[in-house]
Structures are given as structure tokens and as C-alpha cells.
Structure 1
């Protein structure tokens, strides 16, 4: 009898432990996304920079999958964040200028996840509106010094743990956005750093670039702090973590443009138990895919149409490819010191980037072109042919541009006028027009309506 009771007790214990294991396996994963601000993807160590110091990001890439062809729909902060958090194209949601707002009735990730028991928070830089579209359970802005409120991160995670609730957490840095006043520039030697070929190589360019690299290093430490907190709270194994670099930096030819550097992003995803560590993918993926991906991982059906496409089949190795094209647009109307209008539309596949400048007769202007560094470049351009070519290309553009991204990732040599590229242009122009039509994008008419979609018409980041 004693042996029988022991066997029953042991079986009950085994069943109890089994139930715990099953419960843990069935527990919804946490969803965490960290995003930098104005960081060119190739200025990270794991994306090829020999100068940058990004140990946390580099290590993180060894633990998940690194995408080499990730893109966003706009090279500006506000439309990018709306697109990322709604899974809806910028013109379709109305959030396509900078300092923009989505149309009432647009649903964000909060609307989809909260009914499924998730707590959803944004901690850091916002640039999304209105509150009805983004009903966060917690929003904690940047500090007065533009730092992430990690105390709010701690509090949010602890509350979710105490209530046994899964969470979706966006942590959005303000680095390395100008004025590049964080980190230690002395870590970098201005005489030795390698500059992209579309910079005018003068001492001021090099010193500014070192300040920018210092702030990337500062941002990397912020990301490291977030990862450490997940480890300390023993949440890492049940958390999907995404790292994004956002659009290109605030030097010319990156942010505010649809050149590849402007819309090409770092994207690294870690999903323990589901993604093989150290993977690399050259599939075309976009920020608009994040919401449907998070929803599928959480086992939640979207409450409205999403323009993105879940990455789960790609992440789990069921497929190798994801999309044929990636689409982007730039609305210069309303940006700080920008042109009265200068709309840009672009489409890219794995090999080519096709760009349409809606008003090529206008001069392209923004805070960079009106800044001290670019003015110095223009002064040098009066006597230097290379500087003249660079500054003219930035501000005076043809109606159509085509670049071979395999041979020319910096988009320097425009191939649009070569007769042998006619069929390529026709194919890509057709794809671009179809995308614009699906979004309700009327081109120049849409550009002129930009002010109607802005929270504020003047001050812009």
C-alpha cells in the first residue's frame, strides 16, 4: 500500500510539473522593439563599419537573424514610427509628412494586442499621434536630457510580471539624432575614420562624423541596458526582441532622401527557440511588416487590414524570400528649412533602386542643406570639381533616377538615361505606380496636402 501511495504521489507530482512546463510553453511571448534615431545602418559594426564601436548590437546579431535588406517607408522620424506601429502605409493612414498624425479610426498595435491581454507601452521618443490611435497602457517620454527613462522600463516590466501579463514594449532612443552631444568623441580618430564617398572630405566633416560615432556608441549602451534588464528579470527566453536603426543619419544623402542610405535600415531579430542563432537573410523586409509579425507570434488576429506581411515564415525557415519590392516616399513640404514642396517616390528590388522626383525643377532643401557644414561644402565647390558634383547632386536632381545597388550602394551613378535600362525602368515604374494607387497617393497633389496631416507646421526634427 505504501508503495502504491508513493507511486500515486510521484505521478501527481509529475503531472503537476508537466502542467507547469506546458503552461510555460503556452505562455504568450513578450514583444520588445528597440529603435535608434537617425542611424545609418552601415555605421554599425555588424553591418560593416570598421570605425564604429557597437559591442552590444554586434553580440545581439550573433544571437538571432540579421537582415541585410530591411527598409522603411519614409526617411523621416514621424511617418516611419506611424508606419512601424500601425502596419499601414503612410499615405493610406494619412501619416506621411513629418510631425504627422494618423487619421482617426486607424488602428495601432495597441488596439490589436490589448484585447488579447497584452500590456503595451512606448518608452522614449514618440512622434506619433493622436492618442486615440495610440492608446498606450504606458507612455514615458524622454528625459529633459533626451535619455531613455529606464526607471519606467523597470516599473512597466515589474507590473507585468506581478500581474502575469505578457507585454509589448517599444523603447525608442533619441540617439544618434543631432546635435551629437552624447558619448565620447575622443574614442575615434578623425584622421583615420573612413567617410562615405558622397561626403566632402574636410576636417569639419571628420570631426562631426566622430561626434556622430560617439553617439552611436552611446545608443549601443542603451540597447545593452535594455537587454541586461530582460536577462536580470529572466524574461529573455520568452521575449522576441527586435533592433532597428531607423533611417539614415543627418549628413547629406541619407535622412530626408530616398537614396538607399536614407531608407535602408539595420534589422536584427532574436527569438529564442525559434530562430537559429547567427543567421543572416537577404530577403526584402520592411517596417510595415513588424505589426503583422508581432501579432502572429502572439497568436492574435488583426482587427483591421494590415499592409505589412508577417515575417514568421521567414524567421522560422519555412521560406527564404519575402517580398519582390520595397517602397518609400519623402515629403519635404513642412520640414525644417525644407523646400516648399519636393516629393520623392521610390521602389527597389534586390538589385535596383528606382526614384521619381515629382518636381525636379525645384531645389531640394532641408536643415542639412542650410546648415554650416553643407555651406562649407558649397564654398569648396566653387573651386573643387568633386565637391561641386556632390553638392549639385544633392540639391538638383533629374525627374528619374536608377541605381544598381549591387555595384553602387551609395547611389552615386544614375543609370536612368542608358537605353539598355529602359525595360528595368518600365517594370519598376509600373510597380511604383500600382503601389501609389493602392495607397491613394496622387503624387504632387498629395504633397500639397501635407500641411493638413501635420500636428505642427514648423519646428521639425
Structure 2
């Protein structure tokens, strides 16, 4: 899409969920019909099939999406570190281009509640909470307005937030200037004080004891306890997406509005560590992502690997706004304009809190390392790492067989190690030393060197 100076730039809405796995969606094979609106959006717009977070925990992931920089670069490498007031966000860039900016929902980039104006990342309209999971409950939604007065929104929390977003859009629909709205839900994140996934009344029972993703079926965790409620929350989110799309259509804005649907990270249901995320596994890092609207209609299924950090430059370029040099991601817009453009062959993941970890994910391989002597709450990075994971996603897509140290896969590990080091340095980290895992052998395993590049 090329915009001339006389054209009104498209409105932009980010529909952002929290802790949503990619395989909650029908277009990724979930058989429960949870996401007909997302599936339709992905089929009619652009479906980013291989979409991954670059930091599988709330605050750091959000810092990446707001700034377009890795969490170690902005300093927000773990939860509880406020976004530096000097960092430029999407709001700053859109506002400078003449957009009206608004934020509704969970922020998680400040260190106080309510969030003062100086820590709102430049958003003009504000109806949010730093930690929505603590200021609200399922049917008691409390957020703060521009004056930091508490606002009680009626209805189930997803509906309450969606109502607020529709009111914002309706209020801007007749304005000459375009708007940029960031709508940030808590769902399907757990309600912390309950350690439960509370859906709307009546939405848990239809999905309890039904289909279970293969990794959860094999590894257990808390899936049998929580999956019914989790799926019920996803269902209501999709209904909210449908309501938002309907509102845009009724206001005549559907052809003028770019909508990005994505999530901050996934959910492994206590199968990879003692909580729900903070691991390199696809259950933690792979998310559902689709974009529709001007420039993205009929884009089809994009099979290149795309990181959360690639989405800020994508939105800016799609709106005709220059991409700042400090952004570390790569816009996908050129991939949609030209068949000859080649997308990324890998994504890079930084892991904090549960460990100081790093990983690289290609279409076939997953290679991860950890710094055993570092504390993920204190240390942002390390100069030394130990091999931790190697998965062959072609034969083991749900990462049930860790191949690290397997002698037949030594050359693959070496190639992936070099690629990971290259990505770490490009992200602004120092070049580390890696310690190899203890070697072991298994007679039926063999891999060829050319397979390491896939």
C-alpha cells in the first residue's frame, strides 16, 4: 500500500490478548469452533502463520511491542521494570504523524497504580490499569481515566473493555484525523488471586473434558483443571472481536481501518516449569496473529517466521509512517508487496525471570540455552550459557523429545549455535561463550548437515 499526502491515513486498532496459544484458533486446527471471527479475519486478510513472541512474559513482551526494541535494549527485561520515559512508543510515532491515540486495558509497563501521565507511553486517551488482574475481577472491571479517577465498567471484563473501545471509535469516527487505538485485554490470562481461568457464566462447561493439545495431553500440568475455563475465555474474546468488526462496519470504517490481532505470549499450563509461561517452547512463544484492512486484505497465509518485534515497524509502514532506525524488527509489508521478497528464516527469543535463557526457532529446529549461574530476576543477560534444548519440529512439533547432546545432531547444534550468537549480538548483547551438553548416542537417529539450514 502506497499512500500519497492527500490520502487520509488508515485508522489502526491493535486487539491484544494475554497468554493466548496459537492453537486455540480454528485456523490452526482447534476443533472446538472457538474463533470463527479470527479465522474469518485471517482468511480474508493476512494470516501470519508462524508468529512468535520475543519474550514469553507480560511486561517485557509489551515493551517490545510498544518500542520495537528487544527488552534488554529498553531495559524492561522482566516484569516490574517501568518503561523508561525517554523511550519512544507506537503512540509517540502515530501522534507525530497526526493520529489521535488511545489506550484501553492492561498496561504492565509502569511501577505504580494508577499510572501517572508520564508513564503512559505517550497515549493521549487513557482508560487503563497497570495490573488489570489486580485492580479488577471477572465481573468487576476497574480501570482509571485520564485524570486517574477509577472507572467501574459493567459486564464481563472482556465485554466491558470492548464496549469502551467501541465508544472510543464511535467518538472518533467523524473526526478528520485518523486514530490509533491499542485495546489490551487480560483474557485468557489467569486471575492471579484465584489461580483460575474464569470465563463468563456458562462458558466453562461446554469445553471441559474436550479436545486437549498434544503437548498438554502428554505432559498434564494443570490442563485438565484449567482448559475448560481458558477455552471459554478465548470464545468470549472472539465474540468481542466480532462485535468490534461489526462496529467498524456500521460506522463505515471497516475499509479505512487496519486491525492487528495478536497476543503477548502463550501458555504451557505448568508443563515446562512451575507456572504458565517463561520457557522457549512453542506453547509459551507461539501466538495467533492476523492483520486486516488497507494493505492487508487478501494477503493470504504468510509462512515466513514473524516475531512480535516485527509488528511495530509493520504497523508504521502500513500507515505510511517512517520506521525509526532504532526499531530492531523488520516490517512484513514488503513481503506482501512482492513475491520476490524473502522473509525471515528464524526468530530470536529472550527469556527472563524463570531463567536467563535464549533460544532460536527456525521452521524445523528449536535450540535453547540457559545461564545456570544467573538469576532471571536480577540478571538481564550473561556472558556464558549452557546448552539446554534441541527439538526437531518436523518430527516432534510439540517438543516432547529433547535431542540436546545427541551425537547424531552435533553438526545441527553447531549451526544453530552460530545463528543464535549472531542474533544475540544483533540484538545488542555481548558475544557469549556456550558450553556444550554432555554427548549421548541413540542408534536410530541420524541427521544430515544440509538439514540444519531448514
Q: Does the 8 Å contact 1:40/1:246 carry over to 2?
A: no
Q: Which residue of 1 aligns with 2:312?
A: 291
User: How does 1:237-386 map onto structure 2 within 5 Å?
Assistant: 237-249=255-267, 251-252=269-270, 253=272, 255-272=277-294, 274-277=295-298, 279-319=300-340, 321-332=342-353, 342-359=355-372
1:157 lines up with 2:169 in the alignment: yes
Asked which structure has the greater CA Rg, the reply is 1
Deviation at 1:280, TM superposition (A): 1.1
> Shift in Å at residue 113 of structure 1?
1.5
Q: Report what 2:227 is aligned to.
A: 209
Give the 3 Å change call, closer, same or farther, for CA 281–303 of structure 1 in structure 2: closer
Segments of structure 2 that go 5 or more residues without pairing to the other structure are: 112-117, 133-140, 143-155, 191-195, 378-384, 433-454
Rate the CA distance shift 1:101–1:319 in 2: closer, same or farther, 3 A.
Answer: farther
- 1:152 partner SS: helix
Report the CA distance shift for 1:135/1:62 in structure 2 as closer, same or farther (over 3 A): same
> Deviation of residue 149 (structure 1)?
2.8
Corresponding residue number in structure 2 for 1:404? 392
Equivalent residues in 2 for 1:89-238 (5 A)?
89-129=70-110, 131=118, 134-141=121-128, 143-144=141-142, 146-147=157-158, 148-178=160-190, 179-183=196-200, 184-190=203-209, 192-199=210-217, 205-238=223-256
With structure 2 as the length reference, what TM-score do the two structures score?
0.76
Secondary structure of 1:247's aligned partner: coil
* Aligned residue runs from structure 1 range 34-73, under 5 A: 34-73=15-54
Give the secondary-structure state (helix, strand or coil) at the position aligned to 2:94.
helix
CA deviation map 1:273-311 (0-9, x unaligned): x34537112101111111111111222123452101111
- Please tell me whether the aligned partners of residues 51 and 194 of structure 1 are also in contact (alpha carbons under 8 angstroms): no
CA distance in 2, matches of 1:314, 1:264: 20
CA deviation digits over 1:38-58, x for unaligned, max 9? 111112112111135222212
Residues 1:215 and 1:158: Cα distance change in structure 2 (over 3 Å): closer
Q: What is the total number of aligned residue pairs between the two structures?
A: 382
Aligned twin of 1:430? 418
After superposition, give the CA deviation of every residue in 1:77-119 in whole Å (9 maximum; x if it has no partner). Answer: 1111110111111101111112332334221111211121111
- Structure with more of its chain in helix, by fraction: 1
SS of the residue 1:121 aligns to: strand
Deviations along 1:400-434, one digit per CA (max 9) or x if unpaired, are 21111122121111122222322222222122223
Segments of structure 1 that go 5 or more residues without pairing to the other structure are 1-21, 333-338, 366-396, 445-461
The 3 A distance-change label for structure 1 pair 360 and 39 is farther
- Please tell me whether the aligned partners of residues 371 and 386 of structure 2 are also in contact (alpha carbons under 8 angstroms): no
Give the Cα separation in 2 of the matches to 1:232 and 1:247. 32
Contact kept, 8 Å, 1:121 with 1:168, in 2: the verdict is: yes
Trace 1:438-449 onto structure 2 (pairs within 5 A): 438-441=426-429
Q: Is the 8 A contact 2:221 2:269 kept in 1?
A: no
- Cα deviation for residue 127 of structure 1 reads 1.1
Q: Deviations over 1:119-172 (max 9, x none)?
A: 122211111248457110112126236444334323432343333111111111
SS at match of 1:257: coil
Distance 1:171 1:44, change over 3 A: same
Q: Is the 8 A contact 2:268 2:283 kept in 1?
A: no
Deviation at 1:317, TM superposition (A): 4.1
Greater displacement, 143-152 / 169-178: 143-152
Aligned counterparts of 2:297 and 2:165: Cα–Cα separation in 1 = 28
Shift of 1:208: 2.0
Query: Which region of structure 1 is more displaced relative to structure 2, 199-208 or 292-301?
Result: 199-208
TM-score where L is the length of structure 1 = 0.75
